[in-house]
Amino acid sequence: MKTYKAAVIGLSHISQARSPSPLSLPSVDPMPRSHVAAYAGHPRVTLVGACDLMPAAIDRFNATWRDVHPATRMYTDYREMLDKEKPDIVSVITPDDRHADIVVNVANAGVAGIWCEKPIATTLADADRMIEAVERNGTAMTVSHTRRWMPLYHKARELVRDKTYGELKVLTATMYYARAMLFRNGTHIFDMLCFLADARPEWLIAELEDGFDGFDRYRGDGGNEISSEPSANAYIKFANGVRANLMMQKSNNLTNVIEMVFENGVARIVGDGQIIINRVDGGPSTSTRSAISIAQTLGHEDWVADRELGILSEIVHALDTGTKPMLSPPRAARQTLSILLAILESHAKGNARVTIDAGPASIAS
C-alpha cells in the first residue's frame, strides 16, 4: 500500500497535544486529540515536517513528540518546508484569518491533500479564493468540523434521510459552555445543523451576546480569549422547510444538545454521546449510545477512531482512490461560515432577517 508524507503548519494545542494513553491506541476522545497524534496513529502516513513561527512551539514539539516522530524536521518558514519536504498532505492549523493565504499557497504548490482547521476562513472572499485554488489544482481538501466524522451524527442523519419518524420539522440546539463563542466553538454546532437539516440554509434572524453591539467583524485571532468573541442566538430557515435554532450561553456547564423534532417522534442528541428517541406512535422509546460514550463508561476512552484519525483516514482514502473527501468539503464549510457572518449582519441591523449567502446549490449539507 502507498505511504504518504505529511507536514503541519502551526503548532498549537489542537495541532500537537498528546494523550497520556499508550500510542498504540488511537487517541480520539476525550481531548487531547490532535493532528500530530493522528499522524502518529496512522500506519501509512509519516510526519516529515512541522512548522511554526514561534521557537517555543517548536520546543514543545521536540519535548513532546521526538520518541514517536524522530525524523520530523522543524521549520519556521512553511514555504521552505513545502519546497524541501514535498509533503502529500498538509495540515493548516494557524489562526482563522491565516488559513486562506496558506491554503492557496499549499494548493498551488501541488500538495495533494489539505486538512484545514475550522472555520474555513473569516470572510467569504477568502473562502472563495481557497475553494478556487483547491478546485483548480484538484486538491483533496477537508475542513475540521470534527463532528462530521462521528458515527453518532451519521446515525442521526439517517433518521432524517430514511424518514424513520416522518419528515424532520425542527432542530433545537443548545450550547452551554464557558467557551460558547460564535466562531470558535459555535461553528461546530451551526455546521451540524446544516448537516442534519440536509438542506441549504436560506435566511436567519439572530442576536449577539449583550455587550457586543459593535462586533460587526470577526478578526479571527484564534479565539483563545473568551471575551474576544460573543456567543449568539439564532433562528434559521432551511430550503426544505426545516426550522432550526441555536441558543448559546457562556456559563460553567459543558453541554450541547441537539433536539430533532420529526412528525412522529423526537430524537435528542446529548453531549455528542447519546441519541434518545421518543416516539409518538406508542412504540418503545430507544437510546443509542456512541462507541465512544460506551468506551468512556468502561474507562477506555482511547480506543475508538473518529474525529482527527477519521479525518486523516478520509484524506488517505481520497488520495488512494483519486477522489475528494466527502464529509466536510470546503464548500460545506463555506456555507457554515456564511451563517456565522449572517448572524453578525442580522445583529448589526437590529436583529433583521438576513438572506444567507449559501453558495452553489450543489452543497446541500
Ligand X SMILES: NC(=O)c1ccc[n+]([C@@H]2O[C@H](COP(=O)([O-])OP(=O)(O)OC[C@H]3O[C@@H](n4cnc5c(N)ncnc54)[C@H](O)[C@@H]3O)[C@@H](O)[C@H]2O)c1
Helix (H, G, I), strand (E, B) or coil at 48: strand
Give the residue with the Cβ less far from ligand X, 48 or 242: 48
The DSSP-derived string for 6-40 is: EEEE--SHHHH---SS-TTS---SSS---HHHHHH
Question: How many Cβ atoms are within 10 Å of 154's Cβ, its own excluded?
Answer: 14
Give the residue with the Cβ less far from ligand X, 95 or 151: 95
Q: Which stretch binds ligand X (CB under 6 A): 48-56, 132-140, 265-273, 277-285?
A: 48-56
For residues 224-253, which are near ligand X according to CB under 6 A? Answer: 224
90 binds ligand X (CB under 6 A): no
Residue 208: φ, ψ to 5°: -100, 160
**CB of 356 vs ligand X, minimal distance in Å:** 21
User: How many residues belong to the site for ligand X (CB under 6 A)?
Assistant: 24
For residues 95-124, which are near ligand X according to CB under 6 A? Answer: 95-96, 98, 117-118
Among 29, 52, 207, 272, the residue binding ligand X under the rule CB under 6 A is: 52
32 binds ligand X (CB under 6 A): no
> Cβ distance 325 to 316 under 8 Å?
no
Among 58, 129, 222, 289, the residue binding ligand X under the rule CB under 6 A is: 222
User: Which three cell numbers mark 213?
Assistant: 453591539
254 binds ligand X (CB under 6 A): no
The DSSP-derived string for 307-343 is: HHHHHHHHHHHHHHHT----SS-HHHHHHHHHHHHHH
Which residue number is nearest to ligand X in terms of Cβ?
12
**Which helix (DSSP H) or strand (DSSP E) does residue 249 occupy?**
strand 243-250
> Cβ distance 52 to 59 under 8 Å?
no
> Cβ distance 4 to 312 under 8 Å?
no
Q: Which stretch binds ligand X (CB under 6 A): 50-58, 309-317, 327-335, 357-365?
A: 50-58
Rounded Cα distance, 311 and 15, in Å = 14
54 binds ligand X (CB under 6 A): yes
148 binds ligand X (CB under 6 A): no
Q: Classify residue 304 by burial, with Cβ atoms within 10 Å: 0-12, 13-18, 19+.
A: buried
Among 16, 94, 174, 233, the residue binding ligand X under the rule CB under 6 A is: 94
Among 7, 11, 175, 197, the residue binding ligand X under the rule CB under 6 A is: 11
**CB of 202 vs ligand X, minimal distance in Å:** 26
**CB of 185 vs ligand X, minimal distance in Å:** 8
Give the residue with the Cβ less far from ligand X, 160 or 246: 246
**Which helix (DSSP H) or strand (DSSP E) does residue 144 occupy?**
none
CA neighbor of 173 nearest in space, from 72, 102, 247 = 247
Among 61, 78, 115, 153, the residue binding ligand X under the rule CB under 6 A is: 78
285 binds ligand X (CB under 6 A): no
Rounded Cα distance, 174 and 185, in Å = 12
CA 239 to chain centroid, in Å, comes to 23
**CB of 24 vs ligand X, minimal distance in Å:** 24
Q: Which stretch binds ligand X (CB under 6 A): 38-46, 52-60, 237-245, 268-276?
A: 52-60
Q: List beta partners, residue 164.
A: 166
Give the residue with the Cβ less far from ligand X, 85 or 117: 117
User: Which three cell numbers mark 28?
Assistant: 480520539
Q: Which stretch binds ligand X (CB under 6 A): 9-17, 62-70, 149-157, 161-169?
A: 9-17
User: Which three cell numbers mark 180?
Assistant: 460558547
73 binds ligand X (CB under 6 A): no
Site for ligand X, rule CB under 6 A: 9-14, 51-54, 57, 78, 93-96, 98, 117-118, 144, 146, 222-224
